[in-house]
Amino acid sequence: MLKSHSNSPSLVRQQAAVSLRTFGWIGFWTQLIFTAAAGVVLLFAVADPNLNINLKSGFGLFSALGSILVLCLSIYWFFRYTRFSKQLEASESSLHPSRKETIRTLQTGVLINLVGMLLILVGIELVMGSLLGKTLSVPQGAAIYRSSQLIEPLDIFVVQANINMIVAQFVGIAIPFWLATRIEQH
């Protein structure tokens, strides 16, 4: 019985290369855009002398900066997927990475983004806790005499920046996880 052409190793490798390149670029640009937006907002927030939510010091700042750094590593990792696809497409078979090596590379991408997700979830908990503290410190119906008790638009931007980082980390987890399951099936 003849082997089906659709399951040939070269066709499977070609499909994997196309998937890695396509989704590598999708992940790269998605994470770059969300990370840049979050980074700019956080930069303005940290530079603002009136910001009094728990972001400028301690673990809140470490978490935000750590998450941005992990996202930068993840952006590089997505770019690496596109280079990895070129190895799969190489005409010389000695340059082709093994399926195991490909899966390990994708698993590393998932792990990088899981670390980033943990950092950003801790950061958003600190920010939301600070905002909740502001809200609860104001008695209902009372006049507010200290502006530090008010939730300001910049506070909401910080929450939005954290949500952008969560979306970027989610993309960084979902794409390599999906790619790894596709490659393992072939």
pLDDT in tens, 151-181: 777 778 888 888 999 999 999 999 999 998 8
Pick from 155, 154, 148, 147: which is nearest to 131 by CA?
155
The two three-digit tokens of residue 140, written as one number: 């209902």
Cα 104 to its chain centre, rounded Å, is 19
pLDDT in tens, 6-52: 566 678 778 888 999 999 999 999 999 999 999 998 888 777 766 65
Pick from 173, 167, 161: which is nearest to 60 by CA?
161
Report how far residue 109's alpha carbon sits from residue 106's, in angstroms, rounded to the nearest whole number: 5
Yes or no: say if 151 and 135 are a contact pair by the CB < 8 Å rule: yes
Which helix (H) or strand (E) segment is 131 a member of? helix 99-136
State pTM to two decimals: 0.81
The two three-digit tokens of residue 111, written as one number: 């792990």
Share of the chain above pLDDT 70, in %: 84
Torsion sign (Cα): 127, 128, 130, 131: positive
